[in-house]
Structure 1
């Protein structure tokens, strides 16, 4: 086996050492003792800032520890006080070299400032998307004479402790952005071909990150774009004609054009289209005839039948707004195009709105944000994991992709948990056992929170599609199949989101965690259950409700009357024999089912008798509360088993759900 060449300086570095001070040469030698130093040079940023930099290549031991494959940048910042702008030198070196061998995720910052570590930590707190920077002061590396693992431990401290998987917000930079270049290129090319686009997907699938990616791609070539967030009240609260003025103002503001624009009140319903055309043409000519991409994010917020704002939901604002944009798009050839981004393409698919033609019906190509395939999962997980001390066995990439349906956000959160569970033993190899342990923990304790974030948009805006998912999850296939045949657009949307798949006439979930979440949430919705199942459900739900009612009665009586008076009132709710039996007990013990026979019926009567204490919990609907509690008690399966019918079970579920919702809402506040 060929012996590895020893670390040290490349000839080019030897010839350039003169640009360094004596102490900087000593520092670089420390790296040369352990690394291959391949390049040394200087650069100037702006008029005043000058930096020296080196490139280092990892020897085998560092490759094994940190999976380094490319060269790292070292920046020498010889200013006495480190300033955040010095980190720009890293990007400047990377841009200057334009070399694929440079590692874009991690670099080393050397500084004369002894507080460099603290200052870099503050920078990274402010920007989660910053690359991994290993901060080392001149003094600490020069004064280290005994610790032969000094550099290695510096890398471990700054790499293994940072969780690069746990990104909750959309990604604004390229650094940690993976797997979406095809869709970005497709939309950018459509814009340059004077075509409009539509991009759709559930929350947390990365739509906003793709928007930022599209804008970065346009910025790199000097093209222009503006992002309009339809959930911004300053946009959605405006009428359709004033929204056109808003778009022009935002372009003017973003590119600091300082154009004298028409006042908003000039954008009347009669004149808005013409004035918009004139002003966007002015901007187009200032941009040297470069077309402008107008991006509308969260399109649901201004969509008919869905928006929470009346003039978009129930009036003709959607029609007039898109009539204007569509007409000007066609008339002003190549001046602007638009990209519509949201959850669901219903705004494009519905042919008529309130009896009028939909101006954008089938006029925009629809793209769903694609799920990750195994190579894309591997690229993301491997690159981020190597910096964090996680080396994944090859089989894990396919398991992650299959188990979480190629959903990048869920995949990252699982990997984040793997890091947290093993951060005391890094670096590690993530094998099947390690992965299965983390997966079980994630599915049990974390998945529901993230899946709720993903699918809540369906329950909010598209309840029919959400219902369809629920029925598929609980196995009510008769209802699901009937609905799927009658409303094929719903199943097409669900397939587009990447939640379900279809094989011939059979449907199934692509993300098992979504299925399990919906099963748990809707376990009491299943129809055609056996009599035994119905009786078990009644018993389970009453048994789960009873301790919650005990807690509410205990806390509310005490809050209103004080403990002593509340105790006296509670004792009066029992019979005389029970009053004597329980008279010696403390207030809290009167609610202990092991000490006191306080039943569902007792709790119901206490609330009814002192209704003013509890009415705010139950929407002040006393009669409805009484009827529903009576019905729940009537169906108490644990007292005397009955032959339940679907109608009676439906009545029980309606009553129980009403009580449960009010109780849970109160206890969660």
Structure 2
């Protein structure tokens, strides 16, 4: 057997006597060193257990700080118990082995997909390695390519919805702690900011911290809930009284729970709360507050009821203060306009000076760069300090936009050869492409949403973008929203995404046609009108990502399965019609794939199905998904149908899971 130089000298002889363990150890050279080897038997099944210590580059790229379990099971029909064995080995390692990462070498021709699926169900990142019983591992270089594909294909930048996992929460840990402290002492706080700036993620973090600390109790009032924003001012106050009572007895309650309770079940008055003996602090969180302001996108009655509601609510708050009840308020939304104006219809604004004008601004630059650095490591990319700056500047330090840009960069760089440093010229080119292809659209959606709720900052932004700079006094609102940057000469727009989004704004906000009725399939897609544009934008980005992954998948698979002397590019060309073959035959592999359309990619895979079957599984299911996804709902001027969009998302998810 070959050198085994990456095997700890104390066990090298033991490993050398196990042919499969030796093959695997050699294949892992450069990625892992082998620190442990032993036999393991469970219920008459025999396993070989390796403890693999990641090299520094591998550890940095995968955020590993422990050894990784490699389990060798020479079985041609894997069962889920294989991962249960791995689970037990990890649990009994006294913290030596990474709790969520395992490699499994097996002889089951359909085992890769089984292991990936079981791993997802059990919360493991499983790297399957297929070795036929009568054969051998692929050459070390091919196996390393396979491992790189498994290790670095996952897109760590891609995140749908608010941040929940602690490992994904960047840049605002201290802000969350500060807000928690303020809520524990009866303060009133506001968080205004454009869509996707991270308001809900920050609120979720505060709620989690409150639960861990045991205080304050949280009453969550999501104003976007139809059952709440449809209420009159007086009925909304009753609903808040209900949810406050529920939260006071069990630490957390959501407005939807209170709406299900009748007045007989829970008397909707605050007096009972004020008389509570030794009460815990209570925080009322008004999220998506725009839905109950005069600019409400779907409830015009709040033009009158807004002032009535806050006048009455202010009385409630002041009474709580007089009674010594520790209550705090957190208001979150997009537009601060209704909280800043002096009056409505010549009647004093009841909320003015009651809810302070606070904003959630983009990340500080150092926080942006740290997030870029950490997430790039997870996918095997290393960006220079200047390039981290360049990404952050392009995205205006908005964390969600940074994730979009990082995802684009990750998808555009070949998996092979990672971990690797990325050339600055390439980063500049990819950022420019990103702004044109995706970034400008994402910024436009956010700016359109802001304009729907208040035109003032957009008009100011348009002026700031048309001149080198505006004065600090004129541009202070832009600074609060994070849409511009303060420089010695004044305020200027530096983000390429914001400039592109602003350029893409239409002169008027189009009305979005909503579906007349939702089918059962579409129930999950109940969106307010202003979110449809964003939903379609997200679908478009997801499809673009899948298309890029299909190109990578075709390249990698056909190259890996090519016979001696066979060129994988020839397989691609043979799948095309005669006209395409003539036009594209002179192009190199990646350039050729980049010239092909969605239907062409599907045709290549179907033509060479035997090479792709192990990953994709069902040929007819794949063909159905490809056909449906070829008809893009974001590319047609027709009424949006929720059922179609829900079906489209389902097929996208199916393909994404196969290509993960």
Q: Counterpart in 2 of 1:620?
A: none
Q: Counterpart in 2 of 1:233?
A: 226
Does 1:494 pair with 2:488?
A: no
2:314 to 312, 323, 337: 323
Q: 1:150 to 1:422 in 2, by over 3 A?
A: closer
After superposition, the C-alpha distances for 1:378-405 in whole angstroms (9 at most, x for unaligned) are 3222222122232212221111122322
Q: Counterpart in 2 of 1:472?
A: 464
Q: Counterpart in 2 of 1:244?
A: 240
Does 1:291 pair with 2:281?
A: yes
SS in 1 for 2:270: helix
After superposition, the C-alpha distances for 1:584-604 in whole angstroms (9 at most, x for unaligned) are xxxxxxxxxxxxxxxxxxxxx
Q: Counterpart in 1 of 2:434?
A: 442
Deviation at 1:96, TM superposition (A): 8.2
1:71 to 66, 71, 84: 66
SS in 2 for 1:175: helix
**1:8–1:35 CA contact under 8 A, matched in 2:** no
Q: 1:255 to 1:214 in 2, by over 3 A?
A: closer
After superposition, the C-alpha distances for 1:310-361 in whole angstroms (9 at most, x for unaligned) are 3322234432453255235424545442211112333443454555554543
TM alignment of 1:189-588, pairs within 5 A: 189-223=181-215, 224-239=217-232, 240-245=236-241, 247-248=243-244, 251=247, 264-265=262-263, 272=268, 275-278=269-272, 289-306=279-296, 308-315=298-305, 316-320=307-311, 322-331=313-322, 333=324, 335-423=326-414, 425-427=416-418, 428-475=420-467, 491-503=475-487, 506-519=490-503, 521=505
Q: 1:267 to 1:190 in 2, by over 3 A?
A: same
TM alignment of 1:70-219, pairs within 5 A: 70-74=65-69, 81-82=79-80, 107-108=101-102, 110=104, 117-119=112-114, 121-122=116-117, 133-136=125-128, 147-148=139-140, 152-153=144-145, 155-219=147-211
What is the CA–CA distance in structure 1 between the aligned matches of 2:111 and 2:221, rounded to whole Å? 39
What is the CA–CA distance in structure 1 between the aligned matches of 2:636 and 2:130, rounded to whole Å? 58
What is the CA–CA distance in structure 1 between the aligned matches of 2:134 and 2:168, rounded to whole Å? 33
What is the CA–CA distance in structure 1 between the aligned matches of 2:330 and 2:131, rounded to whole Å? 53
SS in 2 for 1:295: strand
Structure 1 length normalisation: TM-score?
0.59
**1:473–1:516 CA contact under 8 A, matched in 2:** no
The structure, 1 or 2, with the larger RCO (C-alpha pairs under 8 Å, 6+ apart) is 2
Structure 2 length normalisation: TM-score?
0.60
Q: 1:418 to 1:31 in 2, by over 3 A?
A: closer
- Structure 2, unmatched stretches of 5+, are 39-47, 509-634, 640-660
**1:277–1:328 CA contact under 8 A, matched in 2:** no
- Structure 1, unmatched stretches of 5+, are 15-21, 42-51, 525-664
SS in 1 for 2:150: helix
Matched residue count: 486
What is the CA–CA distance in structure 1 between the aligned matches of 2:92 and 2:171, rounded to whole Å? 22
**1:37–1:55 CA contact under 8 A, matched in 2:** yes
**1:172–1:209 CA contact under 8 A, matched in 2:** yes
What is the CA–CA distance in structure 2 between the aligned matches of 1:81 and 1:235, rounded to whole Å? 49
SS in 2 for 1:167: coil
RMSD of Structure 2 on Structure 1 (CA): 5.2
Deviation at 1:500, TM superposition (A): 1.5
Q: Counterpart in 2 of 1:584?
A: none
Q: 1:325 to 1:77 in 2, by over 3 A?
A: farther
Q: 1:23 to 1:80 in 2, by over 3 A?
A: farther
Deviation at 1:183, TM superposition (A): 1.1
Deviation at 1:474, TM superposition (A): 3.5
Deviation at 1:187, TM superposition (A): 0.5
**2:193–2:335 CA contact under 8 A, matched in 1:** yes
Q: 1:197 to 1:109 in 2, by over 3 A?
A: farther
**1:304–1:353 CA contact under 8 A, matched in 2:** no
After superposition, the C-alpha distances for 1:402-444 in whole angstroms (9 at most, x for unaligned) are 2322122222212211122223544242221111110121122
What is the CA–CA distance in structure 2 between the aligned matches of 1:419 and 1:228, rounded to whole Å? 38
Deviation at 1:303, TM superposition (A): 1.9
Instruction: Judge which range, 312-321 or 66-75, deviates more.
Output: 66-75
Deviation at 1:291, TM superposition (A): 2.7
